[in-house]
Structure 1
């Protein structure tokens, strides 16, 4: 069983993790957090979590996962907190940035199995959703999207502990909102489980169209199949392609850079390399040929641009995400023809966004440390 730490005494936790100590002195808006700074709030959230009957009924691994998420849920208030001109204290974007930090910490510093790490990461990412889901333009889509990567039961428990671990005048309203989130998830068949779409294309189109019904099943009409590789340098993408797509043509950014004699750090040259890669992809797409796009593709934005290009030609898009433990990653990178400096890899880890299921028709995970 994985655990972030065996000693959950607050003093021990504080000694063990510098990022916990970083929470000390980080202010919070007294209207919503009269209890004190982020460290005080986090300690109170952990204490509140332990009192919840539903938490005590969880299996041991689920408790450890949720406890780690509670400890990390506000970790990036340290970098996003701003005192506004009117005196209010805000921390916009702390959940998204906190998710990136949680992934980095649980990959580099406190290695966790892939599935458990991503469970923690996505609980951090969506920990505020139960409070605000009902205010979203499309509440159903908000909870269905979250349920694909986070257990909504655990999200609800984290949100309850978050509400109970603060001093504020609107605590009852917060708890009421969490109750609405629970009901919303139950209504849309995503309470404690991912929503079951009828087909991969139905899921894909639901998240691409603003006004879409999750039960709608679109007609499947595809040209070619495109596999977008995703993974850090040295993760084994070339080996994966050789094993699973031996006879497929490959659009490889590394190969194109080498042919054009472009350094990975040359922004202008890389722009030309990417354009050449896209033109090669278009030639396959126009011909209706299956192919693999081989590049790191570690951010959702970059993957989204490539997916958009492919679906313009009615392609069926699959993302294969490849990962190995950090020590193995460095060793494999050192054996590459084009070695990426370790410092650059660490920076990429900080930016890594593991593909989510709704990004393509299929998303598959090949994690050595799963």
Structure 2
């Protein structure tokens, strides 16, 4: 591990490793790197050949960019950018297939960006990297397709703000410059022109480099007399702009006026079994009403392991949730919530009741999760745990109105949103 730690630290300085060198150090932890050489690419979009060839070309182009146009990218941001270039296509071995487009068979890799982000979310925790670096890499991998797409689709400011909440917009730009130059395609200059437009829009919207949306957007609406109401307004203003319900933050003052004084704090847990969700609730949300699918299964079926009556269990849970939200009670939904579509259903319900929604996501090394599952009172079988890890869709900015990321032993790794801190303690109420 010392050799790996030293090697990773050189990425924050001036090292320029090839793809093969990177694979030597990282394939043990990220075995999909070994599949790059066997993963074909489209002969028009990627005439250079397989994913391994492309990735090495991207790395070499990135080093040229860092030496010429972006020498100011140093330290941890450089480390994240190099890793982002190495891993931006990490899920192509999982997603690559053939598809007929315009009567010609082509090679595509649909949704490899978001699958790559989720694949890395837990696995990067096995490496000696800071949470900030890991978060930056996830942003680069998960959204590297968006700089061009936002321009091509003529997206509005809200979509640029959403992207800025999920990724470092400047690092994305440099990655995509290298990504474009690190391939053989017929319209390179046109592709690069899209990136120039993307940069122009980011600068115009004030989101070039990493920005905190919760400082940028609510700055003009610090109008409430008490902290609880102001926190609600801050978070709802960001949420409503992202959802195109308003166009300027000031509109949120009127839209939230009737709810800001008294509202439900709705917390949604998100994490693999054994990651410590229930323990975190006990330590941090003891005064919240608890809705636990496991406990309802035990109530209905006599055992939390009994998966019968799933529809009934879920309906009871939703009815109890609606009751709490209607009464403006603080409530926590305790389940794995690994899929985005199910989290979206819960968030929609919370928004319908004008709650302040906080997603608590657990991000830990897979080895720690396995150990936690083994040590818990109600351990699940290994094959079920493997399925959870494989199917986990890592949450993104904008799903809920706030997000807390929790690491090993219940340690909070990051807060995203406007929170109430009294002394050094975070208060969800």
TM-score by length of 1: 0.90
Q: Distance in 1 between matches of 2:117 and 2:22?
A: 20
Farther-moved stretch of structure 1 (70-79 vs 144-153) = 70-79
- Deviation, structure 1 residue 47: 0.5
Equivalent residue number for residue 106 of structure 1: 124
Equivalent residue number for residue 71 of structure 1: 86
Q: Distance in 1 between matches of 2:301 and 2:107?
A: 49
- Deviation, structure 1 residue 77: 2.0
Structure 2 residue 32 is the aligned partner of structure 1 residue 19? yes
Structure 2 residue 144 is the aligned partner of structure 1 residue 127? yes
- Summarize the alignment of residues 265-280 of structure 1 with structure 2, pairs less than 5 Å apart: 268-280=308-320
Q: Distance in 1 between matches of 2:302 and 2:133?
A: 38
- Deviation, structure 1 residue 272: 2.0
Q: Distance in 2 between matches of 1:32 and 1:257?
A: 50
- Deviation, structure 1 residue 267: 5.6
Structure 2 residue 256 is the aligned partner of structure 1 residue 236? no
Quickly say closer, same or farther: Cα 1:19–1:224, change in 2 above 3 A.
closer
Q: C-alpha offsets along residues 122-168 of structure 1, whole Å, 9 cap, x if unaligned?
A: 21111111222112352422221111021001000100000110112
Equivalent residue number for residue 217 of structure 1: 251
Q: Distance in 1 between matches of 2:33 and 2:364?
A: 27
- Summarize the alignment of residues 123-272 of structure 1 with structure 2, pairs less than 5 Å apart: 123-136=140-153, 138-194=155-211, 195=213, 196-198=216-218, 199-209=234-244, 212-218=246-252, 219-220=255-256, 221-222=258-259, 223-261=263-301, 268-272=308-312
Quickly say closer, same or farther: Cα 1:275–1:54, change in 2 above 3 A.
farther
Equivalent residue number for residue 388 of structure 2: 348
SS in structure 2 at match of 1:359: coil
Structure 2 residue 58 is the aligned partner of structure 1 residue 45? yes
Q: C-alpha offsets along residues 32-63 of structure 1, whole Å, 9 cap, x if unaligned?
A: 22212211111100000000134443122211
Q: Distance in 2 between matches of 1:25 and 1:319?
A: 38
Q: Distance in 1 between matches of 2:149 and 2:264?
A: 40
Q: Distance in 2 between matches of 1:242 and 1:80?
A: 39
Structure 2 residue 68 is the aligned partner of structure 1 residue 34? no
Which runs of 5 or more structure 1 residues have no equivalent in the other structure? none
Q: Are the counterparts in 1 of residues 124 and 365 from structure 2 also a CA contact under 8 Å?
A: no
- Deviation, structure 1 residue 336: 2.1
Q: Distance in 1 between matches of 2:107 and 2:153?
A: 23
Quickly say closer, same or farther: Cα 1:317–1:95, change in 2 above 3 A.
same
SS in structure 2 at match of 1:88: strand
Structure 2 residue 356 is the aligned partner of structure 1 residue 339? no
Q: Distance in 2 between matches of 1:136 and 1:276?
A: 42
SS in structure 1 at match of 2:144: coil
SS in structure 1 at match of 2:105: coil
SS in structure 1 at match of 2:113: helix
Quickly say closer, same or farther: Cα 1:264–1:255, change in 2 above 3 A.
closer
SS in structure 1 at match of 2:139: helix
- Deviation, structure 1 residue 214: 4.8
Q: Distance in 2 between matches of 1:159 and 1:263?
A: 51
Q: What root-mean-square deviation, in Å, do the aligned CA atoms of Structure 1 and Structure 2 show?
A: 2.5
SS in structure 1 at match of 2:357: strand
Q: Are the counterparts in 2 of residues 105 and 111 from structure 1 also a CA contact under 8 Å?
A: no
Q: Are the counterparts in 2 of residues 98 and 124 from structure 1 also a CA contact under 8 Å?
A: yes
Structure 2 residue 107 is the aligned partner of structure 1 residue 81? no
Which runs of 5 or more structure 2 residues have no equivalent in the other structure? 219-233, 414-429
Structure 2 residue 19 is the aligned partner of structure 1 residue 10? yes
Q: Are the counterparts in 1 of residues 180 and 188 from structure 2 also a CA contact under 8 Å?
A: yes
Q: Distance in 2 between matches of 1:329 and 1:200?
A: 31
Q: Are the counterparts in 2 of residues 264 and 270 from structure 1 also a CA contact under 8 Å?
A: no
How many residue pairs get aligned? The number is: 368
Q: Are the counterparts in 1 of residues 88 and 144 from structure 2 also a CA contact under 8 Å?
A: yes
